[in-house]
């Protein structure tokens, strides 16, 4: 199927064509027709499936279809709620790219930024608002924003919003919108809390489950066992010196850990910077721009702060601290291999973190190959579960998972491949940006 078969407006198709996108991904192919038909929708779609375009494209189509656009100030017809500032900025960028040949006013309302420019923009007619819940509520409470004319409410990464404690804000926002609105919920996971929220907010929704590959084939994944923090730091320092590593994002479990590691890398002579939630939005934006310009080679980030980062030159991702949740792992490694380039994701794991690894491998359907560096081999091995030894009802084996013997990086050419959508001439491949 092509985008033309989805009955999108020629202006939108022109933007997609200019970007080189011709064939939709599974979630786009299934979601867009249902949204255009006016149905409420629950879409279960993992990171990297092209879900952002699945709701941005029909939202843009809605503007074109409006016979009598609302010209009142601060009264959007589309509202997109996201859990983080970075994701809101990413969605805002997608709106501009796919709506390049359209006339509409969009506004991004996120915390950590000055109120003044936002207030000025809200004093003008606005078609779409992309916002994080906290800042949106602030403007609503100050009577700067009126949602009484809203046509479409979109919850992006709804599961993440609930995890971050925004359920009250989401329900408050929804209560201020017309009951006749169309509501779209996009989520990577599903549980009782989300089911209850959907029951309250959505009207007879359609349900789709995008069966997409959750990790990209153009990202090589590697695993290194570490004995302790000293061993981990030595291994990272060795790997960062490889000529293959042009730019990297290094993930830390904590804000303090990100600061400490960035400072340590700077002392070692690297151009490094930290990115985490304690930084104000202007500082975070400056840091990301430095990464894009190449002024920062190594960015040490936490999960929430890095959500939505799209920098095409990141050759490597390092999981300095292995994530506890498989969804976070998929999002992290999706920061490399952008725009179809090849990428490498390297994870450090201590033997007692085996349960996290198994969760990741179960989720992705792939085993992450073990690697070792000559001279920095671990003293401990990664145990695997079998039925040979039992302890507290769980079985373990004294056997170990063996490394593949590679002691360094292999040289490889970074080729351009399709991303997010199928590119022209590549209908057999489905490589997407992780979003």
263 found inside a domain: yes
Domain that holds residue 407: 219-416
Question: How many domains does the chain fold into?
Answer: 2
Closest CA to 173 of 106, 80, 56, 111: 80
User: How many CB atoms lie under 10 A from the CB of residue 117?
Assistant: 10
Report the 3 state secondary structure along 371-405. CCCCCCCCCCCCECCCCCEEECCEEECCCECCCCC
39 found inside a domain: yes
Is the whole-model pTM more than 0.85? no
Tokens of residue 196, six digits: 């209850």
Say if residue 158 is in the same domain as residue 200. Answer: yes
CATH number of domain containing 324: 3.40.50.300
Say if residue 147 is in the same domain as residue 250. Answer: no
214 found inside a domain: no
Say if residue 80 is in the same domain as residue 168. Answer: yes
Say if residue 201 is in the same domain as residue 227. Answer: no
Supply the pLDDT for residue 213: 59
Say if residue 159 is in the same domain as residue 205. Answer: yes
421 found inside a domain: no
Supply the pLDDT for residue 387: 33
Say if residue 232 is in the same domain as residue 121. Answer: no
- The contacts of residue 126 (CB under 8 Å, 6+ apart) are 73, 74, 75, 76, 105, 106, 107
Say if residue 188 is in the same domain as residue 240. Answer: no
46 found inside a domain: yes
Distance CA 363, CA 357 (A): 10
427 found inside a domain: no
Say if residue 224 is in the same domain as residue 202. Answer: no
Say if residue 195 is in the same domain as residue 299. Answer: no
Say if residue 394 is in the same domain as residue 269. Answer: yes
Asked if 343 contacts 314 with a C-beta cutoff of 8 angstroms, the reply is yes
Say if residue 192 is in the same domain as residue 257. Answer: no
Say if residue 204 is in the same domain as residue 224. Answer: no
Helical H segments across 318-371, by residue range: 326-333, 354-364
80 found inside a domain: yes
**Tens of pLDDT along the chain (435 residues)?**
889 999 999 999 999 998 888 889 889 999 999 999 999 999 987 766 788 999 999 999 998 877 656 678 889 999 999 998 888 988 999 999 999 999 999 999 999 889 999 999 999 999 999 999 999 999 999 999 999 999 999 999 999 899 889 999 999 999 999 999 999 999 988 888 899 999 999 999 999 987 655 556 889 999 999 999 999 999 999 999 999 999 999 999 999 999 999 999 999 999 999 999 888 878 888 998 999 999 999 999 998 777 767 788 899 999 999 998 888 898 899 889 876 688 999 999 999 899 999 989 988 888 999 999 999 999 988 865 433 333 333 333 334 566 765 444 443 333 333 333 333 333 333 334 434
Supply the pLDDT for residue 56: 97
């Amino acid at each position: 199927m092509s985008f033309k078969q989805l009955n999108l407006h020629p202006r939108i198709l022109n933007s997609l064509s200019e970007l080189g996108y011709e064939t939709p991904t599974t979630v786009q192919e299934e979601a867009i027709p249902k949204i255009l038909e006016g149905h409420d929708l629950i879409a279960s779609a993992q990171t990297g499936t092209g879900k952002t375009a699945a709701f941005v494209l029909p939202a843009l189509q809605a503007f074109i279809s409006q016979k009598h656009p609302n010209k009142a100030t601060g009264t959007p017809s589309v509202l997109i709620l996201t859990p983080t500032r970075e994701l809101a900025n990413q969605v805002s960028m997608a709106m501009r790219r796919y709506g390049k040949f359209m006339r509409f006013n969009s506004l991004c309302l996120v915390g950590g930024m000055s109120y003044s420019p936002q207030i000025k923009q809200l004093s003008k007619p606005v078609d779409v608002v992309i916002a994080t819940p906290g800042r949106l509520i602030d403007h609503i409470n100050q009577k700067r924003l009126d949602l009484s004319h809203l046509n479409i409410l979109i919850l992006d990464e709804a599961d993440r919003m609930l995890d971050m404690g925004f359920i009250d804000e989401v329900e408050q926002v929804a209560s201020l919108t017309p009951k006749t609105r169309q509501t779209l919920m996009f989520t990577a996971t599903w549980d009782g809390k989300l089911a209850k929220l959907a029951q309250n907010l959505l009207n007879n929704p359609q349900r789709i489950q995008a069966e997409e590959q959750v990790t990209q084939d153009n990202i090589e994944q590697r695993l290194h066992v570490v004995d302790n923090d000293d061993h981990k730091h030595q291994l990272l320092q060795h790997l960062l010196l490889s000529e293959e590593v042009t730019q990297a994002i290094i993930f830390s479990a904590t804000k303090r850990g990100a600061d400490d590691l960035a400072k340590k890398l700077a002392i070692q002579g690297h151009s490094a910077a930290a990115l985490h939630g304690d930084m104000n939005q202007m500082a975070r934006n400056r840091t990301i721009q430095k990464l894009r310009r190449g002024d920062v080679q190594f960015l040490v980030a936490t999960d929430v702060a890095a959500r939505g980062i799209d920098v095409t030159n990141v050759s490597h991702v390092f999981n300095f601290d292995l994530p506890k949740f498989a969804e976070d792992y998929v999002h992290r490694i999706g920061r490399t291999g952008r725009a179809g380039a090849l990428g490498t994701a390297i994870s450090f794991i201590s033997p007692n973190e085996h349960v996290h690894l198994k969760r990741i491998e179960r989720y992705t359907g792939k085993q992450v190959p073990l690697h070792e560096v000559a001279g920095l081999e671990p003293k401990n091995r990664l145990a695997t579960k079998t039925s040979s030894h039992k302890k507290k009802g769980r079985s373990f084996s004294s056997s170990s998972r063996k490394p593949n013997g590679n002691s360094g990086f292999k040289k490889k050419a970074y080729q351009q491949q399709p991303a997010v959508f199928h590119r022209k001439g590549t209908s057999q491949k489905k490589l997407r940006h992780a979003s």
